[in-house]
Structure 1
Amino acid sequence: MVRSSAQAREPAGSPLLSIGQVLARLNPEFPDLTPSKLRFLEERQLISPARTESGYRKFSPGDLDRLRFVLAMQRDHYLPLKVIRGYLDELDAGRQPILPGGAVQAPSMLSTERRLGREELIREAGATGMLLNDAVSASLIVPADLFGEDALSVLRSLVELQRSGIEPRHLRGFRAAAERELGLIESALIPVARRKDASSRAKAAELAREIAGQLEIVRSSLIRSALSRLQQ
């Protein structure tokens, strides 16, 4: 369960971390995290690090947990920052909010994404080596030595779809559709991407996630509408 800021208060004497130390701890999980991204998240009021008399930012272990949560929700669920901030504001107020869509499971701010080898991935998904090979061949899973939670979720879904007679080869169009959506996102980012400063890069990355989240809402609505017609 995600902790509120009140629940995450640090005991006296808890060590404070510099930006460099925060990056050293989080970059293995989030390689795209940069000092400018941290400052951008502070500007959006997702985090509120302490300041030294000289103005240097100092992050508590609770700030680190909160950062990990925000970054995970962006990366894994493409949620816009304003949605994540609203969720955390509700949590800080002592309420028990639900993330948009209801199906999104909020990870613990203490959790880290696992990395699974090929055999471990197959075993946990209840899949076969052939199904994984077919998923990679259909570009549904990116080939790798170690796989993340996203690959595990996809492979589990493919196991269930296979029981209904739907094979990875039937889903090749999904990759093409994803590439078309990527083209839309890249076109929308052109005005921001032209500016090469670090702040603009951070804003472009956030805008890309927001657009992806909105496209997901439209896609889900279309599927629900189609399903309702089938049930009539």
Structure 2
Amino acid sequence: MLRTPTGGAGHGTATAGDRLMSIGTVLSQLRDEFPEVTISKIRFLEAEGLVEPRRTPSGYRKFSPEDVERLAQVLRMQRDHYLPLKVIREHLEALARGEQVQLPAQAAQREPAAGSWESDAEPRTAARVGRAELLAAAGVSEEELAEWESYGLVAQHEDGGYDAESVTVARLVADLGRFGLEPRHLRAVKAAAEREAGLVEQVVAPLRRHRNPQTRAHAEATTKELAALSVRLHAALVQTALGVRLH
């Protein structure tokens, strides 16, 4: 029986008599079905609360057979249904409560409704907004937007519109501007983001070239997860640096 990561049999500290496995052994077992899985991926799923291995007194992770089964279920739902982790977590929690739940049809077989957004875990074509809408969303002038574009902070697509990420960037640049940070100050931030994107691409590129079409399709979800981890690391490093300088 599957357990939720917040409780159930096996939660706690590992003891010598338990049938538990190291993260390397878990990786070897999962890779037969999921060749793209990595130790970082397993740690990411743990950080997201989808599995909670025991810990030895020295802090090493130890996984039970139930943990491995749960990880396999999570990976199947990502691979076969392209579900976001939040939905996967809710589905597993419902199963643990004994509820009868049904997964949605495989994403590859579904066509999104006209004008709708696709599943958060699928590649999607973001809705575009026009220049006037972007200016209104960020609360800035045409001159300010033109300056941001000159520094490469915001860019139009070939169709002349701006995607959701551009709107987010514009709002953040505007907010930082209220503290006196100008576009020229943000060039270093953009350069760091491009370097981080390059690191993500190094990891994902082999998945996109893989013979298995499911592995290639999984590259997009892996990209998002790596990007999320990169953002969290960046934020933690900034906080650490500020803590050192301010104390």
Q: What's the TM-score once normalised by structure 1's chain length?
A: 0.52
What amino acid maps onto 1:44 in structure 2? R
Q: How far apart, CA to CA, are the structure 1 residues paired with 2:170 and 2:94?
A: 32
Residue 201 (structure 1) aligned with residue 233 (structure 2): no
Residue 156 (structure 1) aligned with residue 171 (structure 2): yes
Contact 1:134 1:168 in 2 (8 A): yes
Contact 2:79 2:214 in 1 (8 A): no
Given candidates 128, 135, 138, the residue that maps to 1:125 is 138
Given candidates 224, 233, 237, the residue that maps to 1:222 is 237
Contact 2:204 2:223 in 1 (8 A): yes
Contact 2:131 2:162 in 1 (8 A): yes
Equivalence for 2:88: 85
Which runs of 5 or more structure 2 residues have no equivalent in the other structure?
1-73, 98-114, 118-125
Rg larger in structure: 2
SS at match of 2:242: helix
* Structure 1 pair 201–165 and aligned structure 2 pair: CA distance change class (3 A): same
Q: How far apart, CA to CA, are the structure 2 residues paired with 1:146 and 1:92?
A: 43
SS at match of 1:45: helix
Which runs of 5 or more structure 1 residues have no equivalent in the other structure?
1-41, 50-66, 71-80, 95-109
CA deviation digits over 1:134-166, x for unaligned, max 9? Answer: 221222112232223322222122222212211
Q: How far apart, CA to CA, are the structure 2 residues paired with 1:193 and 1:156?
A: 32
SS at match of 1:127: coil
Given candidates 111, 115, 138, the residue that maps to 2:151 is 138
* Structure 1 pair 146–92 and aligned structure 2 pair: CA distance change class (3 A): farther
SS at match of 2:77: coil
Residue 171 (structure 1) aligned with residue 186 (structure 2): yes
SS at match of 2:188: helix
CA deviation digits over 1:31-58, x for unaligned, max 9? Answer: xxxxxxxxxxx97326998xxxxxxxxx
Residue 44 (structure 1) aligned with residue 76 (structure 2): yes
What amino acid maps onto 1:131 in structure 2? E
- What are the within-5 Å matches in structure 2 for residues 53-64 of structure 1? none
CA deviation digits over 1:85-107, x for unaligned, max 9? Answer: 2256558999xxxxxxxxxxxxx
Contact 1:193 1:200 in 2 (8 A): yes
What amino acid maps onto 1:132 in structure 2? L
Q: Count the aligned residue pairs.
A: 148
CA deviation digits over 1:211-231, x for unaligned, max 9? Answer: 212111111111122233354
* Structure 1 pair 46–88 and aligned structure 2 pair: CA distance change class (3 A): farther
Q: How far apart, CA to CA, are the structure 2 residues paired with 1:86 and 1:228?
A: 34
Greater relative contact order (Cα 8 A, min sep 6): structure 1 or 2?
1
What amino acid maps onto 2:134 in structure 1? L
RMSD: 3.5
Equivalence for 2:65: none
Q: How far apart, CA to CA, are the structure 2 residues paired with 1:93 and 1:126?
A: 47
| Runs of 4+, deviation exceeding 6 Å | 91-94
Q: How far apart, CA to CA, are the structure 1 residues paired with 2:198 and 2:79?
A: 32
